[in-house]
């Protein structure tokens, strides 16, 4: 498996840490969207697509972020999840091993830097 293309969409706000959203295409037949390029103090970070963990409101059934105090739909207090798992986000797609992660990171950062130099 190899990365055959990286489509980079630069973010408008230059002051923000989020620099770009990318679509990574593998073997010209599979795509992963919402790979993010984030600027950190020690360089660029490639973040895999993720989503917020949700829990349903006991009153109306609306899905709220797990860290919500009140329901976004009905306004009632949402009971806290007491399982001890404090994860707010979970990965939708991610590399299984370090070799694959390195291949993706190198491809995404190279495409990002090329896009920045072209604009």
The beta strands (E) that lie in 1-104 are given as 3-10, 18-26, 30-40, 43-47, 50-52, 54-56, 63-65, 89-91
For residue 25, list its beta bridge partners. 5, 31
pLDDT computed for residue 70 by the predictor? 93
pLDDT computed for residue 95 by the predictor? 93
Of 92, 7, 22, the closest CA to residue 52 belongs to 92
**pLDDT tens digits for 28-76?**
999 999 999 999 999 999 999 998 888 889 999 999 888 888 999 999 9
pLDDT computed for residue 85 by the predictor? 57
- CB distance 89 to 53 below 8 Å: yes
pLDDT of 7 over the 80 cut: yes
What's the pTM value of the predicted model, to 2 decimals? 0.75
**pLDDT tens digits for 73-101?**
999 998 776 555 566 778 889 999 999 99
């Amino acid at each position: 498996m190899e990365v055959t293309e990286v489509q980079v969409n630069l973010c408008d706000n230059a002051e923000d840490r989020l620099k770009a959203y990318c679509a990574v295409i593998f073997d010209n037949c599979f795509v992963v969207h919402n790979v993010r390029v984030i600027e950190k103090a020690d360089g660029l970070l490639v973040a895999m697509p993720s989503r917020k963990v949700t829990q349903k409101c006991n009153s109306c059934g609306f899905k709220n972020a797990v860290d919500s105090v009140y329901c976004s739909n009905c306004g009632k207090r949402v009971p806290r999840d007491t399982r001890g798992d404090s994860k707010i986000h979970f990965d939708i797609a991610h590399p299984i091993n370090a070799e694959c992660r390195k291949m993706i990171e190198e491809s995404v950062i190279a495409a990002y830097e090329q896009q920045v130099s072209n604009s």
